[in-house]
Chains A and B, each alone.
Chain A
Amino acid sequence: MPSLIDIRRRIRSVKNTQQITKAMKMVATARLRRATERVINARPYARMMGRMLQNVAAAVAGEEAAAAIPLLAERPENRIQLVLITADRGLAGAFNSNLIKAAQQFIAEHPGKQVRLELVGRKGRDFFVRRPVDVSGEVTGISQSAGLNEARALTNTLIERFSNEETDSVYLLYNEFKSILSQKVTLKKILPISVPGGEPHQDYIFEQPPAEMLGRMLPQYVLVLVLEAFLETAAAEHAARMTAMDAATTNANDVINKLTLYMNRVRQASITREIIEVVSGASALE
């Protein structure tokens, strides 16, 4: 039976842990609010960009000039670029491991093809850097503050590789922020671009030849997709951490309660034993 002091020490240690998880939860909550704001603020642009792209693409549909745009080029998918966007930090439940699992599955689903990984976020990097996979590059230390500049840098790299025909297609793998309680692992093909379909286009005057315009518009559209993934990841990470830390705090409470109960029982047992000793000692003297 452990001594009273040992149990007290355990309780104290669990309490310390609980304080940390509580603080982390609060930090995550505050950051989550800011991150969701950024996601929401970025949505109108992405939506309008998609719609404008549709209009311009509809105007050039079937034109020869459009077929020559490099970012639309469909090639047999032999060299696939997978961009894995994980968080830089752990302690966010299954946030990172779900993504890593999905990435491994993606690789397994494409046997015989060359899958090259671009790793964004320290957790994904740490996992794959020691494994026999083809890594094309890594970006770490940005998941907390990822914004336009980081997205632009990554987009330019991806576009360059695709245009130079080093890769035949580019996929993003990231956690989509569905709600505070759920994140969804999302695989999105960003290159070659498939122009969103939908409403028929109206008669527009085009100041520039639409085919040229489309060619210059597409990189910006890719940027929007990458930025969206970055922002979603940030929000989802904070949400996942908040949920995980909330659960951890509750668990710590349970453990403390259990230990306190046990401690009292041990204390009572020792008191009872002492009384018995005193009583039996006294009766032995009679």
Chain B
Amino acid sequence: MAETLRLEVSTPERLLLEEQVTQVEVPGLNGAMGILPHHARLVSELGDGPLAYTPENGHKQKMSICGGYVEVGPDLVRVLAVRAEKADEIDVKRAEEALKRANDRLLNPTADLDVARALNAMHRAQARLAAAGRQ
């Protein structure tokens, strides 16, 4: 049996996931990080992107993360997300529309365009789509 670590994902409103997994991939602010059991203690900020994990005796699962923090211990990965959704909770159509809207806005900038906000919206939409398995 493969060694496992506990993955906890929570949002301010609830604990989203608590599971024994063999491997986790988190969207770190400086790029994706793969985490296996016995990892050194680490704290990092998260960007927007998909979080992938392989449950014990299972197939790879995904969820979307939009900002937050991760704390890694030897047998624990704790994700405190600002926003997070499981793959099957993601509203793909809404994310696609949001992505299109943000793209349009960035391609045809008006004088009062809030670039940072549009970029954020785009990243969030991309994170959701990536987790939902589109794109």
Binding site for B on A (CB under 8 A): 38, 41-42, 44-46, 48-49, 52, 55-56, 147-148, 151, 202-208, 210, 213, 216-217, 220, 223-224, 227
Contact = CB atoms under 8 A, between A and B. Distances in A.
Interface string B37-67: 0001111110000000000000000000000
Given A48-B80, A207-B28, A208-B29, A42 B13 contact: yes
19 contacts: A41-B15, A44-B8, A44-B15, A45-B10, A45-B13, A45-B80, A48-B78, A48-B80, A147-B13, A204-B43, A205-B41, A205-B42, A206-B42, A206-B43, A207-B33, A207-B45, A208-B45, A213-B45, A216-B45
A46 B33 CA distance: 25
B108 interface: no
A205 B15 contact: no
B13 A56 contact: no
Given A52-B43, A208-B44, A45 B30 contact: no
Nearest to B15: A44
- A contacts with B: majority SS: helix
Q: Which 5 A-B pairs have the closest CB atoms?
A: A207-B44, A41-B14, A205-B42, A45-B10, A204-B41
Contact of B13 (A148, A202, A213): A148
Interface of B: 8, 10-15, 28-30, 33, 40-45, 68-69, 71, 78, 80, 82
B30 A207 contact: yes
Nearest to A151: B12
A202 B72 CA distance: 12
Contacts of B29: 207-208
Contacts of A202: 41
Contacts of B13: 38, 41-42, 45, 147-148, 227
Given A45-B10, A151-B12, 7 more contacts: A55-B43, A148-B13, A204-B42, A206-B42, A207-B42, A207-B45, A217-B69
Contact of B12 (A42, A55, A203, A205): A42
